[in-house]
A and B are shown apart, each in its own frame.
Chain A
Amino acid sequence: MKIFARNRSLPLRPEPFVFRLEWKPGAEWVGPSLEEILAGASLIQVEAADSPDHQLLELLRDLDKRPEQFNLRLLARPGELGAKARGEFIESLSRLKKLAGFTLIVNSRADAEINRALVEVLEAGASAGLKPGVLVELEPETSVSELEQQLRKARLSGALEIALRPACLTHHDLAAAKALNDVLFNLRTEGIPVSLEECFPGLEPELTFLELNCRRGFGSCYIDGLGRVKACRQSEKFLGNLKQEKPDEIWPDYLFVRNVCPKDSTRNGFSEAEIGEAGDGRIEKAFPVNLDSSLRPVPLFTLKKKGWGAVLIKGLDGLVLSPRGEQLARLIDGQNTFRSIRKKFGQRSAGFIYALFLRGLVRLEK
């Protein structure tokens, strides 16, 4: 039974629905290419290479006025904005209706002045209702205590979300992995959630308890300021260039993501333990808990239809479904029970819904 695009027995779906765009004045993806991207997007993430400028605000305003249904996330560096410019910048952002995320990037070795600017923008952004977050770019030589201090300070300054990504792609040793793991774990036990924005090559096996915001390139792609398309920001392989090719010509190569993340597990997808073994007419494995069949799954997602299936969207993330998965997802409406859904889609549908439950995409009600 083909439910998930992510299932190992199925091909990955080629089209991304989360687009991470690098912004710099004169970015090559602005123009006709952007039009085609927007048509299929659920999230457009714009990352400013430098401090935000007037052109970036104009771009965001234009995107905000678009009729297509997508969310915006802005990643920017606090830079050297004066109080007046900061006020104008924050006010402009606060009026964008599609802006669902505003994240400030700061280096883990940033000097006091940058950190002061970070705090000021965080506080101003929070007060304007932007619910800002912080993305710390981790330098390999950053000490554990420095990092802990910086992350605690970010939380106290009003950052609702804190994420980490490597500042460069140097290999780390396992001792560093252990130290970073300990920092993240300690902060969690204190109630300070820290997520990983991207993977840490060389460290990853140690960081087993975190999901990646970048989705490991799945359903997502990165487009740099020159219009070059990659599966993720860290990838060295270009899949195409929007200046020379149409998105439709690039996406088939998108299957390359399998190789981009060699340590890719099913973390963002679904393991067979969760949804049961493949059918083939044999007895299907039940999901791991006996759920009352009168429970009604209540959707916490919105469903966005695609040519190849659908995407379940929740907040700034989503999940790809095949056409059959989409049909099943449409039955999750708070009215149908496990029993009635199982009648139509078989035993594994309960496992499917339970997997959605574990991912916070549905709630179960009596």
Chain B
Amino acid sequence: MTRYSLDLSFEEFKESLSPDDLLTTVPGLYFSPRSGRVLIVEPESASWLVVSQNELGLLVERGLLAPGSVTRASQKLTDLQAGLGPELLIELERWLYRLFIRNMLAINGYGYHQPTRLWSVQKYPHYFNLHLTESCNLSCRYCRVGDSPAASSMMPVDICQKIIRRVIEEIPGTKIIIGFHGGEPLLNPECLVEGSKYAREVARSAGKEITLSLQTNGILLQKYSQLLKELNVEIGVSLDGPAVIHDRHRVFSSGRGSFDRVMAGIQAARQAGLNPGYLAVIHDPNDYLSVAGFMVETLGATSFRLNFSCYEGRAKSELDFDPGRAAAFARNWLQLVDFVLEHHRRTGVWLSIDDLNLFVAHLLTRDRPHMCYRSPCGAGNAILGFGSDGKIYPCEELVGKEQFCLGDINAASTLDRLLDESQALARVSESRKVENVAHCASCPWRRFHGAGCLNKSFEYFGDLEHGDPMCHFYRVVFEELMWRLADNPELINLISYYKKYIRVQNEWPT
């Protein structure tokens, strides 16, 4: 076997095998049996396969697979074939092919994929998140905003323009996104207006493509929807579902729920011709289906994002966080799969629910489209966060945390140089590689999920050396999605707009 190609067909594989080939299985494979079949996961190249127990049994019996062994099992092809009938010989070659293209088998030392080439990360960010203010007109019970020492500050227009000019001019790349965030960014409309106009001007003269977006709690949408339409800013609205769920946590400082105001804002946005995206934060795992149902049936959304609440900000003191909540979240989140299938059966439309679509993509491709699930995560290489005072951070979620501050927009040398030379960023990047996080280094799911969110790990554990506090959630949902995909290939449609990332056709598990 000398051939190495990323589109190796079974016929080519068969032809290139020779009796003297030494077949070696990969150590650290993860095995999970279920109803006469076994799921095998190869962690380093994020490959997986469901085989029948008979198939596995034969390979174990012949000494090629050794579940639980810390060493590789190895066999010469001739020894493996000895005594097998013609039909089983053909089957064996097919099994070996499936193992080989999933990197579970090395032939004369060769693995099919070269894992070090699979996980590239961006060098420079494309997404720049500006906190127009650290203030908010709501006091959501799980929010980190308001815990910051600069809680009442507004970003001055000149700082906003300086950030925009410098990221467009100094950071390499042709497509950039400016995200207006906060706090509640609509509390600083002057900065939004001047910043948006200025961004389009500078981008035009620099020959760059720019997208402007804004994440709002919706309270001020009635007032500013028309303005946002004129500025051509894409908007995302945070809405936690029906009133009974939304008003539990998304409240004014008086404790009154904000549902009615947000819905009125959404209506105004639609009337102005905006097409908002929706984001809900789930704290009670039993709410997943109710929230998804509300998004689809009441709002008519076909694409939305469901995040779970995190241990940070006010949530630390105002909400309960059972350390074992990940299993309940996983169990309930998986009901979304049936929800999407049922919706498709009734309407013919495939819903796109983040991160369900993304996780399916992770099982079908080796790209990691979303920066949060890379290794290291996108902090400083895909995103930069800017505080209202002009300070620069590797991620929007880290704004205000001085230990992560990379510099100040007024003092920094060119931004590309700042990123190249920042010791703080180098330390963050190095510490968030899965191989450097002890808890993740031997995890079978490490290349599906990465080492998790830097900020969530820091908030929960107080350092950068831990994985994600919800790592069990990811472990369960990835495994369950593998089984469901193996049983129902139609689920490939859940991948939604991440379909463009599937480049290698023969990776689909058959």
Contacts and interface: CB of A to CB of B under 8 A. Distances in A.
A289 B109 contact: yes
B116 A298 contact: yes
B108 A129 contact: no
Given A100-B439, A292-B108, A193 B116 contact: no
Contacts of B28: 360
Contacts of B443: 131
Contact of B110 (A90, A99, A366): A366
Interface in A337-366: 354, 357-360, 363-366
A127 B108 contact: no
B438 interface: yes
Interface string A252-289: 00000000000000000000000000000000000011
A288 B22 contact: yes
B60 interface: yes
B137 interface: no
Contacts of B413: none
B4 interface: yes
Interface string B3-39: 0100000000000000000101011100111000011
A136 to B, nearest CB: 14
Interface in A208-230: 209-211
A99 B463 CA distance: 14
A87 B326 contact: no
A128 B326 contact: yes
B24 to A, nearest CB: 7
A191 B33 contact: yes
B116 to A, nearest CB: 6
Interface in A111-136: 123-124, 126-129, 131
A155 B479 CA distance: 14
Contacts of B108: 289-292
Interface size class of A (residues with CB under 8 A): 35 or more
A279 to B, nearest CB: 23
A20 interface: no
Contacts of B60: 185, 188-189
A189 B116 CA distance: 31
A187 to B, nearest CB: 8
Interface string B318-356: 000011111110000000000000000000000000000
A223 B106 CA distance: 40
B469 interface: yes
Interface stretch (B70-78, B295-303, B388-396, B482-490): B70-78
Given A97-B461, A129-B467, A129-B471, A359 B110 contact: no
A95 interface: yes
B61 A363 contact: no
A91 B322 CA distance: 8
A195 interface: yes
B472 A129 contact: yes
Contacts of A185: 60
A98 B67 contact: no
A129 B451 CA distance: 12
Nearest to B40: A191
A366 B4 contact: yes
B461 A90 contact: no
B398 interface: no
Contact of A126 (B467, B470, B472): B472
Contact of B53 (A91, A189, A210, A354): A189
Contact of B33 (A129, A190, A292): A190
B116 A127 contact: no
A194 interface: yes
Interface string A148-183: 000000010000011000000000000000000000
A205 interface: no
A315 interface: yes
A52 to B, nearest CB: 15
A188 B66 contact: yes
A79 interface: no
A357 B472 contact: no
A298 B106 CA distance: 14
Interface string B424-449: 00000000000000110111000000
A315 B439 CA distance: 9
A357 B33 contact: no
Interface in A310-326: 314-317
B67 A191 contact: yes
Given A360-B71, A364-B109, A365-B114, 16 more contacts: A71-B438, A91-B323, A97-B439, A100-B438, A123-B327, A127-B327, A129-B467, A129-B469, A190-B57, A193-B68, A210-B68, A211-B69, A292-B110, A317-B70, A360-B26, A360-B70
6 contacts: A127-B326, A129-B326, A191-B33, A194-B68, A210-B68, A291-B109
Interface of B: 2, 4, 22, 24, 26-28, 31-33, 38-40, 44, 53, 56-57, 60-61, 66-72, 74, 106, 108-111, 114-116, 322-328, 438-439, 441-443, 460-461, 463, 465-472
